[in-house]
Chain A
Amino acid sequence: MFSSALIPILALVLFPMLVAALLLVIRADGPRRVLVVGAAILIAAGSILLAVQILMAGEIRLNLGLPWLEYLAFAVEVIIAAYIIVKGLLYRRVLVIGLAALQLIFAGLYSFTVSHGMTIYAEVYLDGLTAIMVLVIGIISSGICVYSLGYMRDFQEHANAGVVQAVLKTINVTRGVLRGTGANAEGHVDNGGPEDALEDGADAAPGARDRRPVFFSLMFLFLGAMFLLVFSNKLSWLLCAWEITTVCSFALIAYTRTEESIANAFRQIAMNLLGGLAFSVALLILGLYQIGELNLLVAFGTNAGLLNISVALPIALLALAGITKAAQMPFQSWLLGAMVAPTPTSALLHSSTMVKAGVFLLIRLAPTFGFNANGMMVMLIGALTFLFCTLLAISQRNAKRVLAYSTVANLGLITACAGVGTPEAIWAAVFLLMFHAVAKSLLFLCVGTVEHRIGSRDIEDMDNLFVRMPALARLMALGMFVMFIAPFGMLIAKWAVIVALVETGNLTLLVILAFGSAATFMIWAKWLGKMLAIAQEEPSVEKAAHRSELLAIYLMAALTLGLSIAFPFVSEYLVVPWLATSVANFFLISPAEWLNVTAAIGLDNLIIMSLIVLAFIAVFATFFGRGKKRQVPIYLAGLGLDFEKRSYRNSFSQVSVASQRNWYMDGWFGETALTPVANVMCVAILILGLAVATFAMFSGVPLEGVFGL
């Protein structure tokens, strides 16, 4: 009964963990590089192999039938809880300790009492969605791991330089004090961030502690856990993987061990433990119904009206877990705080792992949503998150923060789609997930490299990047185009969302989406404009980035473009068949829209978009920058002096400098103005949703009866 998929399945879970263990002990740069690159290639190849197998089989179900695996999962959770509790004791975080302990108790109860005698039909379940997730995790995360090689070397050097500088500063300050001039004479004290690149001081430095083995080990452990997460149909395994990813991101966020990073790591783990706690409560409740599998739960949820049992509460709790992990409002602050980590961590958390686990669970649950209380809760949280986080992104100057808000916003859109739960909406959710994964990783990797080269992540400092770093600026522009404009992916998915919303008559969401989309244009267009500005100087040479960084960036760019061209095929041969069989089969009596699933916006329009992308490539390759017109300086209200600085001699013969900053409209869209409002709204929706679901369970009324339309 073991299918041939068993080997790649086991390999994809266990191999990254093995690599993680090896990386922990390897301290030299050379062997680490070989191991990381080799493992990345193997994992990517393995994931492609498994995805092909899934596609050929349609669905793969496996049952290992090893009872001790249940206890292994519990043992892992004990280790995780112990780790969290120790950390919590060290840093005195009572809330975190409490949450971890509580969850451990629930998990123990489940493993040792409830789960006994429960029939499990398929511990592992793979379908079209799994195939997509496997490709996203296997290829994109591997690329990010390769990227980290170069990035972390710079990062370490900067950290070392920071230490050297701090030492020098202390000496100078001491001297100053001795001389009686006071410490202030030394000027500003730097925080030792990457802003000051003392490249030459790196080798001679006593150095910050090199914790890179831990970093790389965590990255690969994360990968293995993500694979386990998307493979698991058995809920207790899913929870186990869920918790490993939480803990891994905790450790990755706290990597730099600064006060801020530790605070943010604890914020992350507190919020995600809350989600995990909701997950384990759901698990216990489901245990009472003898439901131990995600598939079974979705089937019961989908046909709740027919079967006359209510699984509304466990589904609502799992949705809550998904919402925390996907950093939806009011939980968005953990993902924003995660920005303190090195950029590859951000790229990993944002594009291919962690938050994608959250929306993966929500998409899995999507058939049970729709116009019922749970669906309403999920779609409203998602839609409001999309609107508010997009508006909030307008007010941000920090490039990584803009990316973070845009991630949360796009995940909001995916969440809203899952909440709507029609085939069109799920189609859109899957494409949003894919395009977001490739484009966001491209953007993060570019921003990371740019940050190390120009010494800033402020958007205002990216002025003229088009000339200063030609290749990177163009690739970043590509990533941004894919994020918001036709004919590229995110917009096509948004188009599908509009269709789905109009067809279900969902006016509220439609209005929210329309306003959010307009704000999306604002955040990307103004950044693009700044970046693509051209000072009238000869191009300066692009400072060399690490080869591993460029390799990963080119890989992401190729994936982004490839997906933009190939998505009609992806839709036709992967997403639509998955919806029409695997998802549609959950319905005992299919509602009308599930009888004939097609792509949400018609194959002809998809192909038009794909052709426009191709035409763009041709047009850009042929004409971009080939203008041969005579060049003249720009107008500067006087005699232009330095066009890089935009200085000119004005009518009083004095030198003036024209400066122009982007619009951030902080008073309108700033965090102090919007975040509290949004948080209150979303908390209220969550409480209301959970209350209705609880009522539905205890009154035994299927959810459709409680709040149907």
Chain B
Amino acid sequence: MNLLSFLIALIGFAVAAPVLGCLIAGLDRRISARLQGRVGPPLLQPYYDLRKLLAKDDATVNRYQGFYVALALALTIFSGAVFFAGGNFLLVIFLLTLSVLFFIIAAYSTRSPYAEIGAAREIIQIMSYEPMLILMAAAFFVATGSFDVSAAFALGRPIIVVLPLIFLGLVFILTIKLRKSPFDLSSSHHAHQELVKGITTEMSGRTLALVELMHWYETVLFLGWVGLFFIWGSWWAAALAVLVVIVIYLLEILIDNTFARVKWQVVLVSSWAVTFVTVAVNLFILRIL
């Protein structure tokens, strides 16, 4: 990752990811609606929502929350830029963790009981999925001999061939990262969220718009991780990766609409168990071979 490729990726990601993320969110809502027997909103509804949020009266509960959220957004963009520039995978994960931390602090800073519960649950979610992310990056090193994402393009075969179980582990925790049911503890877009709006309870207007935007960036970044498993040094690798990403996202929508939300205990235990089993079995088999 040199400076030029990073800058190109930064601009590209900053501009393209929200467009893509917005379309994905729109599709998500339409497909979810169809699954629930509704017609659903127009495809660009997330964009209209964002515009409306930006036009709202600019009020806040304290002087710091907006800053924390903006910092979280900036770090998400930075992290995505490092990823799409082919940079260090661990760096991507660490920057994203920092971003989520600021998001959590933004919620805590309000001292609203609802936001606090949401933030505490978000911490539980991070604790649940973080081991998988670190181990995924480590497994990536085992498969490619480098932590640089760009190393995938020099391979003779996609890493899914050697890391199939790790991929399953990633798909499992992806549901948490995308804040989809059954793991949407901290904040949910479904009506069954009883904690007002969890972590975003006290975020409104432009601040909430930034949160939406961050969610779009995140979605694109996470789907980039999914695609990475199907990348190798071939011209049609990208096409395959996009296809897989679409399938996986459809699967996430299906899961989102078919599962009821679970308790935090289930989130923690199941994701740690899945992480441990997939990583241990996958890497152990690799060791033997």
Which residues in A have some Cβ–Cβ distance to B below 8 Å? 463-464, 466, 485-487, 491, 495, 498-499, 501-502, 505, 507, 510-511, 513-515, 517-519, 521-522, 525-526, 528-530, 532-536, 605, 608, 619, 623-636, 643, 646, 658-660, 662-663
By a CB distance below 8 angstroms, the chain B residues around A630 are 57-60
Of chain B, the residue at the smallest CB distance from A608 is: B91
Q: Are B108 and A532 in contact (CB under 8 A)?
A: yes
B105 touches A605 (CB 8 A): no
State A528–B196 Cα separation when bound (angstroms): 23
**18 more CB-based (< 8 A) A-B contacts, given A514-B130, A522-B127, A536-B111:** A485-B98, A486-B91, A486-B94, A486-B98, A514-B132, A518-B127, A519-B127, A522-B124, A534-B62, A631-B62, A632-B59, A632-B61, A634-B61, A634-B110, A636-B113, A659-B113, A662-B120, A663-B123
B residues within 8 A CB of A626?
63, 67
Query: Considering the chains assembled together, what is the distance between the CA atoms of A150 and B141 in angstroms?
Result: 51
Question: How far apart sit A629 and B108, CA to CA, in the bound complex (Å)?
Answer: 19
Is there an interface contact between A619 and B109, defined as CB atoms closer than 8 Å? no
A658 to B147, CA, bound (A): 47
Q: How far is the CA of A530 from the CA of B116 in the complex (A)?
A: 9
Q: How far is the CA of A502 from the CA of B91 in the complex (A)?
A: 15
Residue from A525, A529, A535, A627 within 8 A of B64 (CB atoms): A627
Cβ 8 A contact of B135, one of A511, A646, A663? A511
A511 touches B110 (CB 8 A): no
- Ranked nearest first, the 6 interchain pairs of A and B with the lowest CB-CB distance are A529-B108, A518-B130, A486-B94, A514-B131, A658-B113, A533-B111
In contact, B61 and A633 (Cβ under 8 angstroms): yes
Q: Find chain A residues with CB under 8 A from B115 CB.
A: 634
CB pair B113–A660 under 8 Å, yes or no, is yes
On whether the beta carbons of B58 and A505 are closer than 8 Å, the reply is: no
In the assembly, what is the distance between CA of A307 and CA of B64, in Å?
Answer: 64
* Contacting pair B111 A510 (CB below 8 A): no
Q: Across the interface, do A534 and B64 meet the contact criterion of CB distance under 8 Å?
A: yes
Question: Of residues 194 to 232 in B, which have CB atoms within 8 Å of A's CB atoms?
Answer: 196, 201-202
The dominant DSSP class at the B interface is helix
Q: Does B97 contact A (CB under 8 A)?
A: yes
Q: What chain A residues lie within 8 Å of B196 (beta carbons)?
A: 635
Q: Is B73 an interface residue (CB 8 A)?
A: no
Q: How far is the CA of A660 from the CA of B107 in the complex (A)?
A: 13
Contact present for A660 and B108 (CB under 8 Å): no
- A514–B134 CB distance below 8 A: yes
CB of B257 closer than 8 Å to a CB of A: no
Contact A464–B61 (Cβ < 8 Å): no
CB distance from B167 to the nearest CB of A (A): 17
Asked if B249 is at the interface (CB within 8 A of a chain A CB), the reply is no
Chain B residues in 8 Å Cβ range of A634: 61, 110-112, 115, 202
The answer on a CB contact under 8 Å between A629 and B66 is: yes
Q: Note all chain B residues with C-beta closer than 8 A to A533.
A: 108-111, 116
Write the B53-84 contact mask toward A (1 if CB under 8 angstroms, else 0): 00001111111111100110000000000000
CA distance A526 to B105 in the complex (A): 9
B123 near A526: Cβ-Cβ < 8 Å:
yes
Question: What are 28 A-B residue pairs whose CB atoms fall within 8 Å in the complex?
Answer: A466-B109, A485-B94, A485-B98, A486-B95, A495-B90, A498-B134, A501-B138, A502-B138, A510-B138, A514-B131, A514-B132, A521-B123, A522-B124, A522-B127, A528-B105, A528-B108, A529-B120, A532-B109, A605-B91, A623-B70, A626-B67, A631-B63, A632-B60, A632-B61, A634-B61, A636-B113, A643-B111, A663-B124
The stretch of B24-32, B39-47, B236-244, B278-286 that contacts the partner chain: B278-286
A507 and B126 alpha carbons, distance in the complex (Å)? 22
The residues of B that contact A643 with a CB separation of less than 8 Å are 111
Q: Cβ of A534 and Cβ of B109 under 8 Å apart?
A: yes
Does B287 lie within 8 Å of A505, measured CB to CB? Answer: yes
| Cα-based distance from A648 to B79 in the complex (angstroms) | 41
CA distance A130 to B142 in the complex (A): 35
A635 with B202: CB separation less than 8 A: yes
Taking residues whose C-beta sits less than 8 angstroms from the other chain, chain B's interface range is: 35 or more
In the complex, which of the residues A502, A517, A526, A633 contacts B130, with contact meaning CB atoms closer than 8 Å?
A517
A518 contact from B110, B111, B126, Cβ within 8 A: B126
B111 and A629 within 8 A (CB): no
Query: Taking the nearest CB of chain B, how far is it from the CB of A90, in angstroms?
Result: 47
Residues in A neighbouring B135, C-beta threshold 8 A: 510-511, 514
- Measured between C-beta atoms, what is the minimum distance from B265 to chain A in Å? 8
- Residue of A630, A632, A636 most packed against chain B (CB within 10 A): A632
B94 pairs with A491, CB closer than 8 A: yes
B20 within 8 A of A: no
B127 touches A521 (CB 8 A): yes
Within 8 A of A (CB), among B132-169: 132, 134-135, 137-138, 141-142, 147
Q: Closest B-chain residue to A528, C-beta based?
A: B105
Taking the closest CB of chain A, its distance from the CB of B165, in whole angstroms, is 14
A473 to B280, CA, bound (A): 41
Q: Which of A485, A624, A631, A658 contacts B67 (CB 8 A)?
A: A624
Which residues of chain B from 226 to 274 have any CB-CB distance to chain A below 8 Å in the complex? 272
A660 B116 Cβ-Cβ under 8 A: yes
- Assembly CA distance A630 to B57 (angstroms): 9
Chain A residues with Cβ below 8 Å from B287 are 505, 507
Give complex CA distance A534, B111 in Å.
6
Q: Which residues of B contact A499 (CB under 8 A)?
A: 147
Does B172 have its Cβ within 8 Å of any Cβ on chain A? Answer: no
Report chain A residues within 8 Å CB of B116: 529, 533, 660
| A529-B119 in contact given A519-B127, A605-B91 (Cβ < 8 Å) | yes
A517 and B131: CB pair below 8 A?
A: yes
Contact A534 B117, beta carbon cutoff 8 Å:
no
Contact (Cβ within 8 A) B284 A507: yes
Cβ 8 A contact of A526, one of B97, B111, B120, B275:
B120
Contacts of A495 in B (CB 8 A): 90, 94
Q: Which residue of B lies closest to A503 (CB)?
A: B141
A511 touches B279 (CB 8 A): yes
Q: Which residues of B contact A534 (CB under 8 A)?
A: 62, 64, 109-111
Contact call A529/B60, Cβ cutoff below 8 A: no
Contact between B97 and A485, CB atoms less than 8 A apart: yes
CB distance from A77 to the nearest CB of B (A): 46
Query: B62, A511: Cβ atoms under 8 Å?
Result: no
Is A521 touching B66 in the complex (CB atoms < 8 A)?
Answer: no
User: Is there contact, CB below 8 Å, between B97 and A646?
Assistant: no
A456 to chain B, nearest CB (A): 18
A498 touches B112 (CB 8 A): no
Q: How far is the CB of B182 from chain A (nearest CB, A)?
A: 20
CB contacts (< 8 Å) of A466 on chain B: these are 109
Q: How far is the CB of B203 from chain A (nearest CB, A)?
A: 11
Rounded to whole Å, the gap between the CB of A661 and the closest CB of chain B is 9
B114 interface residue (CB < 8 Å to A): yes
Q: Is the CB of A635 within 8 A of B201?
A: yes
Nearest-Cβ distance from residue B73 to partner chain A, whole angstroms: 13
Contact A502–B64 (Cβ < 8 Å) = no
Interface digits, B175-198 against A, CB 8 Å rule (1 contact, 0 not)? 000000000000000000000100
Check if A629 sits within 8 Å of B60, measured CB to CB: yes
Question: Of all chain A residues, which has the CB nearest B96?
Answer: A486
Residue contact A521 to B97, C-beta cutoff 8 Å = yes
Q: When chains A and B are docked, how far (Å) is the Cα of A627 from the Cα of B275?
A: 41
B104 in the interface, Cβ–Cβ < 8 Å? Answer: yes
Residues of chain A with a CB closer than 8 A to B147's CB: 499
Give the CA-CA distance A659 to B111 in the complex, in Å. 10
> Could you tell me the distance in whole angstroms from the C-beta of B3 to the nearest C-beta in chain A?
10
Structural contact, A521 and B126, CB atoms closer than 8 A: yes
CB neighbours (8 Å) of A660 from chain B are 113, 116-117
The closest CB in chain B to the CB of A622 belongs to B67
- Minimal Cβ-Cβ distance residue in A for B71: A619
Give chain A residues whose Cβ lies under 8 Å from the Cβ of B126.
518, 521-522, 525
Tell me which of A463, A521, A530, A626 has the highest count of chain B C-beta atoms within 10 A of its own C-beta: A521
A534–B115 CA distance with the chains assembled, in angstroms? 13
User: In the complex, what distance in Å separates the CA atom of A466 from the CA atom of B65?
Assistant: 13
Closest to B117 in A: A660
Contact of A625 among B64, B71, B141, B276 (CB under 8 A): B64
Residues of chain A contacted by B127 (CB below 8 angstroms): 518-519, 521-522
User: What distance in Å separates the Cβ of B102 from its nearest Cβ neighbour in chain A?
Assistant: 10
